[in-house]
């Protein structure tokens, strides 16, 4: 009788493991399909596929940030009333990604940009964005400098923003976003 119990236990264990492997594989397939839909500018389908992928693999930080980024595109396509729901899903995905993996830089950048660009009614503020930009700074300094440059630019501190963009370019001279940011703030300072 003990042997039968062990057989059932191991059978159940392998069944669960097999199911989790199948879920991870289907999550990867769904994510690949979602990325293709996003390339084809079919964001509604992309978001739906990412939601299915996240349901299949909810502990995947990269998948969560990919989903959040698809929502970033989708939010511009829906009406004002739906934007609040999309923003909530986006914020939850970014937060969950960094809870799962505190070193997931893309999640921290997503949070910084969310708070930098969200209206105050949705919790947006440069102070909140700075908090997350500092997390990026601790992990990848040249990217943290870009994020801090964007925060200072939003605050209207063009000189401080330029300093952050220059610091980023000192580490990564070809970084496009740092170059564009520096050009933007120095041009605005000249005007």
Q: What is the distance between the alpha carbons of residues 107 and 101, in angstroms, rounded to a whole number?
A: 9
pLDDT digit string, tens, across residues 102-127: 999 999 999 999 999 998 988 999 99
Write out the two tokens for 179.
Answer: 């170059």
Query: Which residue ranges does the chain devote to CATH 1.25.40.10?
Result: 102-191
pLDDT at 18 over 50: no
- The CATH superfamily of 102-191 is Tetratricopeptide repeat domain (1.25.40.10)
* pTM confidence score: 0.82
Q: Which residues contact residue 8 at a Cβ distance below 8 angstroms, ignoring those fewer than 6 apart?
A: none
> So what's the pLDDT on residue 127?
97
Residues 57-75, mean pLDDT to the nearest whole number: 95
Token reading at 96: 């969950």
CA–chain centroid gap for 100, Å, is 13
For the record, the structure tokens of 73 come out as 């595109």
């Amino acid at each position: 009788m003990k042997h039968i119990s062990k057989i059932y236990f191991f059978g159940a264990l392998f069944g669960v493991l097999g199911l989790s492997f199948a879920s991870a594989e289907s999550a990867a397939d769904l994510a690949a399909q979602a990325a293709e839909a996003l390339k084809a500018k079919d964001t509604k389908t992309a978001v739906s596929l990412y939601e299915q992928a996240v349901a299949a693999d909810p502990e995947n930080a990269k998948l969560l940030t990919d989903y959040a980024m698809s929502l970033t595109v989708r939010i511009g396509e829906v009406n004002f009333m739906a934007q609040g729901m999309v923003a909530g899903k986006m914020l939850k995905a970014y937060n969950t990604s960094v809870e799962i993996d505190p070193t997931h830089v893309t999640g921290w950048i997503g949070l910084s940009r969310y708070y930098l660009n969200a209206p105050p009614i949705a919790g947006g503020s440069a102070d909140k964005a700075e908090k997350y930009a500092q997390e990026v700074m601790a992990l990848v300094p040249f990217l943290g400098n870009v994020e801090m440059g964007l925060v200072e630019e939003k605050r209207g501190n063009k000189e401080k923003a330029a300093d952050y963009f220059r610091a980023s370019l000192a580490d990564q001279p070809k970084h496009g976003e740092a170059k564009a940011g520096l050009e933007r703030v120095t041009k605005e300072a000249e005007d």
